[in-house]
Structure 1
Amino acid sequence: MRNDERFEIQRAFDLLPHVVGSSWAVIWFRMKGIKKPTREEYREKTLEFLKKIEPVFESYPKEEEFSEIMKYIEYRKNDEYEKIKTGENKEVEIRYDRYVDYG
């Protein structure tokens, strides 16, 4: 698969963890009145909300012409999940710091 064929998926996975996962996690912690969650709690909640959109990741038809992009989507999904768990997603970590500092 050429790089230009997966460009849009790459951009989506660059944004979804913090735009969807972290944003929803912040609101959840605010509504619960939890001002200082641990990093691990924040990462787990971010991942929980990100996983709610998994049906989108699996929405292409199970047809041959989609097989390569589906493999790439599965790879990126798992890679992003791991980055969130280990603290390697810098945008998620920035949002944690901002929430804890400014609530």
Structure 2
Amino acid sequence: MRNDERFEIQRAFDLLPHVVGSSWAVVWFRMKGIKKPTREEYREKTLEFLKKMEPVFDSYPKEAEFLDIMKYIEFRKNEEYEKIKSGENKEVETRYNRYVDYG
């Protein structure tokens, strides 16, 4: 698979963890009145909301021409989940810092 064929999926996985996962997590913590969640709690909640996107990740048909992109989506999904869990997703960590500092 060529890089240009993966470009849109790459961009989506660059943005979805913090735009969807962290944004929804922040709102959840605010509504619950939790001003200082632990990093682990924040990461878990971010991951919980990002996982709600899985139907989209699995939405391409199970046809031959989609197999390569589906494999790539599965790879990137798992990679992003691990980055969130381990604290290696810089944008998610920045959102956490901002939330606990400014609420």
1:20 aligns with 2:33: no
Letter in 2 for 1:3: N
C-alpha RMSD of matched pairs (Å): 0.1
Q: For 1:78-89, what aligned pairs fall within 5 Å after superposition?
A: 78-89=78-89
Residue 62 (structure 1) aligned with residue 62 (structure 2): yes
Percent identical among aligned pairs is 89
Gaps of 5+ in 2: none
Q: Please tell me whether residue 31 in structure 1 is matched to residue 27 in structure 2.
A: no
Cα displacement (A) at 1:7: 0.1
TM superposition shift of 1:83: 0.1
Aligned counterpart, 2:97? 97
* Whole-angstrom CA distance in 1 between matches of 2:89 and 2:26: 16
Question: Hey, which bits of structure 1, 4+ residues long, moved more than 2 A?
Answer: none
Q: Which residue of 2 aligns with 1:45?
A: 45
Amino acid at match of 1:75: F
Q: Which secondary structure does the structure 2 equivalent of 1:73 belong to?
A: helix
Map of 1:72 onto structure 2 = 72
Instruction: Name the CA distance, whole Å, in 1 between partners of 2:101 and 2:31.
Output: 17
Q: Secondary structure at the match of 1:59?
A: coil
Q: TM-score, normalised by structure 2?
A: 1.00
Say how many residue pairs are matched: 103
TM-score, with length taken from structure 1: 1.00
Amino acid aligned to 1:22: S
Counterpart-to-counterpart distance in 2, 1:94 and 1:75: 24
CA distance, structure 1, for counterparts of residue 95 and residue 56 of structure 2: 24
